[in-house]
Amino acid sequence: MRSYSVRDVQRVLQLAPDTTRSLIRAGFVHPKRGPRREYRFSFQDLIVLRTARALIEARIPKKRIRRSLESLRRNLPESMPLSGLAISAVGDHVVVRDGDARWQVDSGQYLLGLDVSLQKNGVLRVVEHKQAAAEPAPARDWFAQALTLEGSDPDGALAAYQHAVNSDPHNAAAWTNWGRLLHERGRTDEADEVYRRALAQIGPDPVLLFNQGVLLEDLGREPEAIVAYREALALDPQFADAHFNLARLYERARDAKASLRHLLAYRRMMDHGA
């Protein structure tokens, strides 16, 4: 089963690392630890994290949040369904929609097909949910489908990521995952082209630059990889994995001072659960 890093959480959910760690400390989610003691999140963890933040922002009491999240986790699938998931707060209840079906987390009771959203003025807006007829999938649906297909149908996932970036050329997460999956499949020239196109389209992005650096390393272009990692750190100085990879590359380049500097930075971040 695929797991996700703090960096993935930041990219996919738009949750800052400090927010993620605060939700962990509050006991809303209990991620596993990876081989370097870094946090590793399941798909269910991602949903719980996003829901916890939304419920906190809606000022739901913490005891109610904890109880709802525990029930939510028990009913979540292991991966994103093709129909997608929509989670919202109705009063102090958590409601999940899986396709056209809606159910209340606390009781498991199915609900009517209504869309409920909280407007900026604090008013709840309730409208009947109707299935759109033959609408093309928006970029976020292609992205969710690609995530679902990665483990079972990599070629289908690659096609879905391509649809996602064609629909939304500024979707950094789709570009990043498209390049990474091409790299994992051994299609390194295509991955290189995807990263170049992505950076030209959306501008510097730390995760894109990091993934490009990993690819450049595998292609034996270590000086270019160093540049990519350094650019990633210029955008995000707390990018622990970039520090670790730079420490290795500088060690190979016999620059002991630079290697030690990045290794110490990496260790400090790991000690704080970065």
Confidence of residue 56 (pLDDT cuts 50, 70, 90): low
Residue 96: pLDDT band with limits 50, 70, 90? low
Tokens of 210: 């990091």
Residue 82: is its pLDDT beyond 50? no
Give residue 187's pLDDT: 94
Give pLDDT, residue 100: 46
| Residue 125 near residue 142 (C-beta atoms within 8 A) | no
Right CATH for 139-271 from 1.25.40.10, 3.20.20.70, 3.30.465.10, 3.40.50.20? 1.25.40.10
Sign of the Cα pseudo-torsion (16, 137, 148, 131, in order) = positive
pLDDT in tens, 43-55: 778 777 777 776 6
Which has the minimum average pLDDT: 72-86, 127-141, 190-204? 127-141
Nearest to 8 by CA among 50, 71, 69: 50
Q: What is the pLDDT of residue 5?
A: 81
Q: What is the CATH code of the structural domain delimited by 6-128?
A: 1.10.1660
| Mean pLDDT for the chain overall | 74
Residue type, 52: A
- Report the alpha-carbon distance of residue 194 to residue 156 in Å, rounded: 17
Give the N- to C-terminal CA distance of the chain in Å, as an integer: 22
Q: Where are the domains of the chain?
A: 6-128, 139-271
> pLDDT at position 177, please?
87
Confidence at 81, pLDDT banded by 50, 70, 90: very low
**What is residue 12's predicted lDDT score, i.e. its pLDDT?**
67
What single-letter amino acid sits at 155?
D
Q: Is the pLDDT of residue 197 over 70?
A: yes
Its pTM stands at: 0.55
Max mean pLDDT among 8-17, 99-108, 143-152, 213-222 falls in 213-222
Rounded distance, CA 50 to CA 67, Å? Answer: 16
Q: Cα separation of 238 and 54, whole Å?
A: 25
Structure tokens at 238: 């707390």
Q: Which residue has the higher pLDDT, 186 or 60?
A: 186
